[in-house]
Every structure is written in C-alpha cells, then in structure tokens.
Amino acid sequence: MDLDSPSILDERLLSCLAKEPPDIGVLWEICSHFEWLNREKTIDDIASWLGPADGLKILDCACGSGFPAIDLAARGYDVTSSDGSLLMLEHFRRNARREGMDIQPAHVRWDELSAHHGEAAFDVVMCRGCSLLYAGTWDDNRPPDRTMLTAAIREFVACVRPGGRLYVDVSSAESLESLEPQWTRRPGLTVGGHSIGLREVVTNHPDRGIRIWRSWLDIDGVTYEFERRSHYLPHDELVDLLADAGLVDIREEKMQSEHYEVFAGKRPD
Ligand SMILES: C[S@@+](CC[C@H](N)C(=O)[O-])C[C@H]1O[C@@H](n2cnc3c(N)ncnc32)[C@H](O)[C@@H]1O
C-alpha cells in the first residue's frame, strides 16, 4: 500500500472531516497531512530504528489518531496502543478500521501507564508526534505544569524492560530558538468537494517555560480557532530529564524523513 498516494491521503482527510464541528483530532490529522515529508519513508526509518519485528514488544503510549502504531502493526510489529484522550482514540479507531486493522487502543494517561500496562513490560516505549510537550495540556489547554513532564518520562521509563529503549520526539532546535511568532500558512486543499485552509502560529515563551500553538482551520468557508499551550523544552533539558529518569546512551537520532527531532535512550541491563 502506498501511504503517500493522493487517493489514500484524500480518503484519510475526508473521513476525518465527518467529525463536526472539527475537534483537535481533526486539526491534528490535517496538520499531519502537511507535515509529512513522506509518511511511508518515516515508517521505514522508524522500522529501521526498531529493528526486526520478531518478538519485539512495543508500546505507543501517545498513539493519538494512529501514527505510528497502526502503520507499525500493519508491518507485523507487536504494538500496544494507548492514549489519554478519548477523543483522539475515536480518530484512532476510525483510521484503524479504514486500514482494515483490528486494533483496540486503551484509554490510559501517562500517570497510570505502568500500573495499566505493567512495569518493564516492553522492549520499546514510543512517544511520537511532539506529544511529550503536551503532558497535562492536550485535552483542555491547561497551563503547563513542569512536574507532569518529569512524571510522564518516569512512567515511560518504568514501562521499558532493562536493556530496552525509549523513543521520544520534540520540536526542532531551530523552532525553539526564535522569540518571534513563527507563522505557517498551508496551501489550500480541496478534498471530496470540501475546501480546507490552515494557518498556524507558534510562539516561544522560554521565560515562562511555555510554547503556544494557535491555529485557524477553514473548512468550506467556516473558520475554527484552536489554541494549545505546551512545555517549552530545550533539547539539553530533555536529555537531563531522560538521564534523571535512569536512561543511558541518550542520543539524538537523525531521521531525515521525520518532522520532529527524535531522542532515544536505553534502560540499563
Ligand atoms: C500531537 S498528538 C500525537 C499523536 C500521534 N502519536 C502522532 O504522531 O500522530 C499528542 C497525543 O499525546 C496524547 N497525550 C498528551 N498528554 C497525554 C497524557 N498525559 N497521557 C496520555 N496521552 C497524552 C494526546 O492525547 C494526543 O493524542
């Protein structure tokens, strides 16, 4: 299956538009559409980082609307999927059905991760899509609380078996540097007779430890506005948090096709 073929991309967008009014999951599906340099290549890169599927137990603890959990499962990986947002899980289920995959994601917040999935139960825990930065803020745009970030990483690590690995991604170093609003105006799209437009602006507030993402989604001439605060987390602070949680061999993984910057670490044997 060519995940990047126009018909599959259109189909994916069209099915998410059925959700009215559009929620944060619809916005995320549309943003992802634009952010993919090449979705299939990104899965190739993640699969190559993971290694062979044989016997590897993976937890995608921020499975959201399904990337990369559904795509990895389609390639034969043993992926357990969970997320803290019921709304995002509705999008996951729709996408999984559309791909013909029978996957039941679990509704689990990060603070209950090891209690739900079991301590040291996975070879790899993944938290992809800049999700970590939304610890405690994704559902209701609550002001970021730094303790949620530390607690989330500790729970991720608790689920990794000794010798296993954690995969987490964050915003690029470049986008963290600017104090100016960073605007992105996406090209207009027409899908199944619907017109879609998207403008986004991200503003860093390092002094307050926050980053604000505002978006205006236009669907058939109606504008829907969204705002999400997230943690402002420079890469060196992320590395410190991963080390404090007990990981070793922490490194930035260069993944050319990935929109975000990926960091990985290993739980000591
Ligand atoms: C930006 S989306 C990324 C989704 C998906 N991994 C992707 O790459 O498309 C962030 C996801 O993190 C989840 N999330 C944020 N905070 C969470 C928490 N405390 N517990 C569990 N999930 C959380 C959200 O519900 C959302 O689905």
| Whether residue 213 has its Cβ less than 6 Å from ligand 1 | no
| Helix, strand or coil, per DSSP, at residue 90 | helix
Distance (angstroms) between ligand 1 centre and the Cα of 95 equals 16
**83 close to ligand 1 (CB < 6 Angstrom):** yes
195 Cα–ligand 1 center, Å: 27
CA–CA separation, 60 and 8 (whole Å): 23
What average pLDDT does the segment 51-72 reach?
Answer: 97
Class of domain 6-173+234-266: alpha beta
Q: Where are the domains of the chain?
A: 6-173+234-266, 176-226
**Spatial separation of the C-alpha atoms in residues 93 and 78, rounded to whole Å:** 17
pLDDT (mean) for 107-135:
98
| Residue 139 CA, closest ligand 1 atom number | 25
| Whole-angstrom distance, CA of residue 168 vs CA of residue 264 | 6
Taking the C-alpha atoms of residue 150 and residue 119, their distance in angstroms, rounded to an integer, is: 17
- The whole-angstrom separation of Cα 120 and Cα 165 is 11
Q: Which residues pair with 183 in a beta bridge?
A: 201
pLDDT given for residue 19 in this prediction: 79
Whether residue 45 has its Cβ less than 6 Å from ligand 1: no
How does pLDDT run across 82-96, given as a tens digit for each residue?
999 999 999 999 999
3 state SS of 16: helix
Decide whether any atom of ligand 1 lies within 6 Å of the 95 Cβ.
no
At 146 the pLDDT is 95
Cβ neighbour number for residue 17 with a 10 Å cutoff: 17
**Which structure tokens are listed for 42?**
């990104």
Mean pLDDT of 203-214: 97
Mean pLDDT of all residues belonging to the chain: 93
Residue 6 — pLDDT band, cuts 50, 70, 90?
A: low
Q: Sorting pLDDT into bands at 50, 70 and 90, what band is 3?
A: very low
Q: Which of 91, 137, 138, 154 to mutate to test the pocket of ligand 1 (most atoms within 8 A of CB)?
A: 138
Going by CA atoms, what residue is nearest to atom 8 of ligand 1? 129
Question: For residue 9, what pLDDT is reported?
Answer: 62
User: Nearest C-alpha to atom 26 of ligand 1 is from which residue?
Assistant: 64
Phi, psi of 162 (to 5 degrees): -55, 130
pLDDT digits (tens, 9 = 90+) for 8-46: 567 778 888 877 889 999 999 999 888 876 889 999 999
* Residue carrying the six token digits 């825990």: 125
What type of residue sits at position 238?
A: L
